[in-house]
Amino acid sequence: MKRKIINDPVYGFITINHPLIFQIIAHPFYQRLRRISQMALAQLVYPGATHTRLHHSMGAYHLMCNAISELRGKGVVITDLEETAVKAAILLHDVGHGPFSHALENVIIREHHEDLSLRIMQQMNQEFGGALDLTIRIFTDKYDKPFLHQLISGQLDVDRMDYLTRDSFYSGVSEGVIGYDRIIKMLCVHNNQLVVEEKGIYSVEKFLVARRQMYWQVYLHKTVLSAEMMLVKIMERVKEIYSATDEKLRTGSALDFFLSSADQAQPFVLDKFCSLDDHDVMHAVKVWSEHPDTVLSLLCKNLLNRALYKTKFASVPFDKELVKEKQDAAIQRYGLSREEAGYFCFTGEASNTTYQRADENIIILFKDGSTKDITSIDNALISQNLSLPVKKFYICSLG
């Protein structure tokens, strides 16, 4: 059987040894993930955070391999067909991400990346002659072994284990380090549900704490938020002023199709979406930096030169007079209209819930065979802190 070893900087060697997995990795839709950044514009704050969705996908695949081996070792029945299907599902779980991942989600294309991932899987399944049928059933949680879906998408899935580990590694933020190997060792299946053995409680607790810290220190860092909001505002401005006759807005890429589409709810050509990547967007930003529209050109130049919005967080909403004052300053400085000034000062809110109570909670399995949701365990840190949402209000202003 053909076998390939990939050297990953986080885990070491990752083994690929199944024809379907090779077929998926070789597909252009999957290879596009090389050109989609995992952490969007976080590299403007953490220069090392330049890894891609493909890196993350391969890492999650590796952790899935380890999890399947561990569960089988504990007597959980997982057939070879199920093993291949769940590995294929984790490889493709993020294939629907557009340029700059979450930063531009619902901005260029108004469809959630998981829905797009499913559509891409379905098209690949047609090309593969139905080889992804079981993969799609597991991915959509329509298979009679729900624990397989929970390994892909749950409160304690291998997706989260990898992105915390990988993003921490590449950003250099040690607070995101988790004991993924011990968590996997503690996984088990009870009543067809994924559970964690009692001995793993503190490893799960550290996982939840790390996730909260990574959100505020990395993903929702005020400068990261500034950069990503600037990119969002650029796209919003282009959509607002877009005209098919304005050659200076055309990029020569599939981006033109989505910017010019009057009805974003209409079905679009999947192949066009799958040709879009970060390079198309950054090329467009460079082109638009010379556009005669003052708002667009200034935002693009500032993003390229890292002259970002100044962003502040607060525990209460910002005063409307402060926003008006900053917009007035932009109007006077750049000769803008009141509507255009909204691109130079605006407010919003960011929230971070470490552990949301859901249908698929983290369940702890005790030695006596009983189970409990992790938040109902007599542990003050988990029950009182980790399940509480933290909301912050922000104001972004330029100049």
Are residues 368 and 307 part of one domain? Answer: no
Are residues 126 and 50 part of one domain? Answer: yes
Does residue 203 form part of some domain?
yes
Q: Which two tokens stand for residue 231?
A: 């990119």
Average pLDDT of the segment spanning 55-70 = 98
Are residues 198 and 118 part of one domain? Answer: yes
7 DSSP β-pair partners: 13
The pTM score is 0.94
| pLDDT at 15 exceeding the cut of 70 | yes
Are residues 249 and 307 part of one domain? Answer: yes
Name the nearest CA neighbour of 6 among 55, 66, 50.
55
- Residues 42 and 103: their CA atoms lie apart, in Å, by 10
Give the mean pLDDT of the chain. 92
Are residues 158 and 101 part of one domain? Answer: yes
* Domain count of the fold of the chain: 2
**Enclosing domain of residue 266:** 222-351
Q: What is the pLDDT of residues 202-259, one digit of tens each?
A: 999 899 889 989 999 999 999 999 999 999 999 999 999 988 788 999 998 989 988 8
Are residues 361 and 345 part of one domain? Answer: no
Q: What is the pLDDT of residue 265?
A: 44
Judging by beta carbons within 10 Å of its beta carbon (0-12, 13-18, 19+), is residue 217 exposed, middle or buried?
A: middle
Q: What is the pLDDT of residue 68?
A: 98
Q: What is the pLDDT of residues 359-378, one digit of tens each?
A: 568 999 999 999 998 878 76
